[in-house]
Amino acid sequence: MNFAIIGCGFISIKHAETIKKISGSKIVAVCDKNPAAMKRYEIEFGATAYTNIEEMLASENIDIVNICTPSGSHANIAELAAFYGKHIIVEKPMALSLEDTDRILQATKTNNVKLAVVHPNRFRPAVMKLHEIMQEGHLGKISHALCVVNWNRGQHYYDQAPWRGTKEQDGGVLMNQAIHNLDLLLSFMGTPTEVFSMGATRLRDIEVEDVSTGVIRFESGALATVQASTTVYPQNYEESLTIFGEKGTVKIGGAHALYFETLEIENLTEKEIGQMISEVESDPWGTPGHERIIRDMIEAINEDKAPVISGEDGRNAVEIVLAFYESAEKNRLVKIKERGEPNDKNKSKTTKSYQAVRV
Ligand SMILES: NC(=O)c1ccc[n+]([C@@H]2O[C@H](COP(=O)([O-])OP(=O)(O)OC[C@H]3O[C@@H](n4cnc5c(N)ncnc54)[C@H](O)[C@@H]3O)[C@@H](O)[C@H]2O)c1
């Protein structure tokens, strides 16, 4: 597979190093507004550098485009890549508005290209184990969940690049950091129906929230509380997800939601539980999520199947964040209403797509 990376900043190196180690794959081209950012890719990876995306797409033999630019630019770039018939791996958040997520979905559909959104936390060993536990019904009826991201991103983090901490290109702690955790929450709890939240900008000089708290009601009737911040002194404090069921309580926690801090399950023996805990502790990060997602895209193309983390998943995560924002801004409950496929009112309601509406 021939890859092209667009946006050669912090996260792009994870994509590049993964591509380099997959046999039969290579980075043929890179594109960045800033030529200096591409030097490493020219020297170390042998990629041809472009400052114009369209010129790159038109001239190079590319199968997959990895979009690693600031979040607000993902939609325009994805539309262009789809137009040129390239499969797309787009960094989270997929986009910053539902108009933009739906433009991406429409463009990939029209041009018959595959789309994957990078939510790498889905592949953490503890997270995958919890999915197995829940799929086997070990927790029974779910009562509620607690999703916490209490992290530290100092002012220097926001000052690294002009797009950080802006409404147009980034979003706040929910859209940038906690979207990973909201994506996980949805994957465990199902369809959300209502959100109430409050947000604030307490300690950082940014346009967006650095603290947010909210509650979600799910279609099942279960509730979740979400608490996210980048203001914690002096360093990342907690990233955790706790699920409370009638027959079990599971908390995946630590500073980076990697370990089972609580694993109490009525139907499992102490030995089975001990085994799960030690399996996770022996390799808490597992195969990096970026690698899983890139390998999955190659498999999806070769076998003509859908990538594991779909555009609809990316859209659902953006939608819940936007519902939080709308609720905080209007200081009222926001209902999330099920509807048909984005931008395609004639299709049946087969996708998990929702539209935030105010009540
Ligand atoms: N999945 C994850 O765990 C994860 C982690 C970090 C960042 N991200 C996401 O990756 C994206 C990039 O984040 P980053 O931290 O690498 O940012 P960054 O600022 O380090 O890098 C962005 C790069 O894109 C370039 N760029 C900006 N606009 C461009 C355009 N229109 N065309 C071409 N190049 C352009 C910039 O010059 C810069 O080199 C964001 O959407 C972010 O949310 C995801």
Residue extents of the structural domains in the chain: 2-120+290-309, 121-286
Q: How confident is the model at residue 350 (pLDDT cuts 50, 70, 90)?
A: very low
For ligand 1, atom 3, name the residue with the nearest CA.
Answer: 120
With a CB cutoff of 8 Å and minimum separation 6, the contacts of 218 are 189, 190, 191, 192, 193, 224
Per-residue CA distances from 286 to 121, 123, 292, 300 (Å): 10, 8, 10, 21
What are the structure tokens assigned to 338, written together?
């099920």
How confident is the model over 226-238, as pLDDT tens digits?
Answer: 999 999 999 999 9
Q: What is the pLDDT of residue 337?
A: 72
Judged against a pLDDT cut of 50, whether residue 352 lies above it is answered with no
- Residue of 5, 6, 8, 11 to mutate, ligand 1, most atoms within 8 A of C-beta: 11
**pLDDT for the residue 343:** 44
pLDDT of 358 strictly over 70: no
Helix %, strand %, coil % for the chain, to 5? 40, 25, 35
Ligand 1 atom nearest to CA at 118:
1
pLDDT confidence of 338, banded at 50, 70, 90?
low
What 8-state DSSP symbol labels residue 152? Answer: B
User: Alpha-carbon torsion 119, 122, 126, 131, what sign?
Assistant: positive
CATH topology of domain 121-286: Dihydrodipicolinate Reductase; domain 2 (3.30.360)
What is the bridge-based pairing of β-strands 334-339 and 353-358?
antiparallel
User: Which protein residues are within 6 Å of ligand 1, measured from CB?
Assistant: 6-12, 31-34, 37, 53, 68-71, 73, 91-92, 118, 120, 161, 176
Whole-angstrom distance, CA of residue 165 vs CA of residue 125: 31
Classified by CATH at the fold level, domain 2-120+290-309 comes out as Rossmann fold (3.40.50)
pTM confidence score: 0.94
Does 335 have pLDDT greater than 50? yes
